[in-house]
Amino acid sequence: GRQHNYLRISLTEKCNLRCQYCMPEEGVPLTPKSELLTAKEILTLARLFVKEGVEKIRLTGGEPLIRPDVVDIVGQLTKLEGLKTIAVTTNGINLARLLPRLKEAGLNAINISLDTLVPAKFEFIVRRKGFHKVIEGIHKATELGYHPVKVNCVVMRGFNEDELLGFVDFTKDLPLDVRFIEYMPFDGNKWNFKKMVSYKEMLDTIKQRWPDLEKLPCETSSTAKSYKVPHFQGQISFITSMSEHFCGSCNRLRITADGNLKVCLFGNSEVSLRDHLRSGASEEELVQIIGEAVGRKKKQHAGMFVVPEKKPAMTRENNVEVLLWEALTCQKERRKSFLNEAELRKASPVGQVSVDCQFKEASPGSEFCTRDLGSCTKVPRASDNLTHTDEEGRATMVDVGGKPDSRRSAVAGAVVRLGEKAFGMVRQNQMKKGDVLAVAQIAGIQGAKLTSQLIPLCHNIPLNHVEVSLSLDETRYAVVIRSSCQTWGRTGVEMEALTAASLAALTVYDMCKAVTHDIVIEEVKLLSKTGGQRGDFSRV
Ligand code: SAM
Ligand code: SF4
């Protein structure tokens, strides 16, 4: 039932940038020029697709604005009757220079890719200079009346997830639609979910700062979920290709620079339109070939959501992938066992379903939830009195958007008993692995910052300050750890302080385990906390 009225045409495989998530440093292997579509061939195919119902064409790449005849191609496309929108997705480097001519030729929508607002980070991620040219391009587009100017920002953990609020501010005085795109690990076999920040997590971070964020209505075929800060000129959107794919309403087709038709971004090329064109196929034949390819389009994309048959071996680098494998496999088993709802209900009275799965708390729609919502069997209701469950009894994060900001702090502690020998070596800084106390201190600080990623229902909150100190207690041959965290926000930091103390303690263990395994970690506890509705706490 999907109407494919949107065609994306890649004008070139080449690019003047080398974004780390898209291209290798040396660029992609290039197809010989003679095998690429000429402008004339592009227009012939475009005419055919428009005749068959395509209403929107997006020019993309590689970088479409490095193709010398791009203005001419736009000018020719404008003449196609029935084509309502000609759009371009560009990295923005050549935009300010070309835009007046492109506009005159008929270009009426622009997406500009920009993943950071920090020039040095821009140079790092795209491996080239040019930040100011992109910003100039964005301003030029707004000056020339493009409304909204879409800014594509691929959000990557550890790179730019701390810039979400900066990008939201960018929409304050400019008519932009900043679109936060979930990073896609393109190579389906080499899972790299670690870099992906889910839509839910981004929204949570933004709502903490902007609790009044308004949800905007969206079109059926739109891939974006849009929001707006009241009174801001622009808006923000999320492209949730990973956590909530939109295959069911996908209306897109793609033609690659060498003339292959792709009916799905994640599928292989279906058919070479270039070869058929060059061997003299008639218009009717081409329409039939295209129709057959579209008819073979799958219900949803493969690759990303295919769970490997065998559990990947656990290494230091891929623990997240292995956990995801376990979560997804477990969910599959769970779905199988939930097929007979009546039997399940007989066997499990309300509130007593036991699911043997460490990800049983994944809420519907979360990135860990693989449930097909249409066919999902309902889990019995849990008590309405529980604060961290949804209406179906599954664990969910509390929405803290409505809580007032206040200053919050927490102090936690832990003790690591090392025994006499290891203790002596730590004191003399003689451990082969290095300076135990210094490494553990850094680990504790890192741990505090990573808490929301480690503890499932913890919010991702901005920490104003983290301090971890380690001292030696000769009477117990122990390292005594104390961590303190502070924030100005809507939720407390006790989990951050406890995670910091725990991580520091585990690091002490790791640094000393070559000398002895008789190490005891004890007294991991909250020492005090201030701020928040439930008042202060202090251990006496
Ligand atoms: N060169 C142009 C540009 O960068 O806008 C057009 C082509 S580029 C491939 C189209 C879009 O795909 C860009 O917005 C880019 O950020 C996005 N993209 C590329 N690799 C991606 C990935 N691994 N995950 C999510 N988006 C990606
Ligand atoms: Fe890929 Fe676009 Fe970056 Fe070029 S600018 S490397 S095509 S994402």
Model confidence pLDDT, tens digit, residues 390-410: 555 566 666 666 666 778 899
Identify the residue with better confidence: 304 or 369.
304
Ligand 2 centroid to Cα of residue 245, in Å, is: 22
Q: Is the dihedral of CA 357, 358, 364, 369 positive or negative?
A: negative
The pLDDT mean for the chain works out to 81
CA of 22 relative to ligand 1 center, distance in Å? 7
How far is the centre of ligand 2, averaged over its atoms, from the C-alpha of 183 (Å)?
A: 14
Kindly give the pairing relationship between strand 537-538 and strand 56-61: unpaired
Q: Who wins on pLDDT, 192 or 479?
A: 479
- Ligand with minimal distance to 89 CA: 1
Protein residue with its CA nearest to atom 3 in ligand 2: 19
User: Does position 238 have pLDDT exceeding 70, yes or no?
Assistant: yes
Residue 15 Cα, ligand 2 centroid: separation in angstroms? 6
The pLDDT of residue 372 is above 70: no
In this predicted structure, what is the pLDDT of residue 132?
A: 96
Ranges of H-type helices in 387-528: 420-427, 436-454, 494-512
Specify the range with the lowest mean pLDDT, choosing from 34-43, 83-92, 235-244, 493-502: 235-244
Q: What is the mean pLDDT of residues 276-286?
A: 94
Whether residue 21 is predicted with pLDDT greater than 90 in this model: the reply is: no
Instruction: Give the CB-side neighbour count of residue 500, counting CA atoms within 13 A.
Output: 31
Structure-token match 């990573």, residue found: 450
Minimum CA distance residue for ligand 2 atom 7: 62
Q: Which atom of ligand 2 is nearest to the CA of 63?
A: 7
pLDDT digits (tens, 9 = 90+) for 489-511: 878 899 999 999 999 999 999 99
pLDDT one-digit tens code per residue, 418-442? 999 999 999 989 998 899 999 999 9
Report which of residues 523 and 531 the model is more confident about.
Answer: 523
Looking at residue 228, its pLDDT comes to: 96
DSSP labels, 276-307: HHHTT--HHHHHHHHHHHHHT--SS--STTPP
> What is the three-class DSSP state of 202?
helix
Question: Both tokens of residue 381?
Answer: 């209701």
What are the percentages of helix, strand and coil residues in the chain, rounded to 5?
35, 20, 45
Residue 130 Cβ inside 6 Å of ligand 1? The answer reads: no
Confidence of residue 313 (pLDDT cuts 50, 70, 90): low
Q: What is the mean pLDDT of residues 243-261?
A: 80
pLDDT at 53 over 80: yes
Q: How far apart are CA 371 and CA 81, in angstroms?
A: 43
C-beta 484 within 6 A of ligand 1: no
- Of the residues 72, 258, 390, 510, only one is catalytic, namely 510
β-bridge partners, 470: 481
Q: Model-level pTM greater than 0.85?
A: no
pLDDT given at position 262: 87
What is the average per-residue pLDDT within 79-93?
Answer: 97
Least-confidence region, from 87-96, 281-290, 399-408, 491-500? 399-408
- Identify which of 133, 69, 143, 132 has the alpha carbon closest to the alpha carbon of residue 100: 143
pLDDT value at residue 489: 80
CB of 184 within 6 A of ligand 1: the answer is yes
Task: Give distance in angstroms: CA of 200 to centre of ligand 2.
Answer: 26
**Once rounded to an integer, what is the mean pLDDT over residues 340-367?**
28
Q: How far is CA 227 from CA 161, 173, 203, 401, in A?
A: 18, 16, 10, 15
Pocket test for ligand 2, best of 30, 60, 63, 239 (most atoms within 8 A of CB): 63
To the query of whether residue 372 is one of the catalytic residues in this protein, the response is no
- Atom 25 in ligand 1: which residue has the minimum CA distance? 183
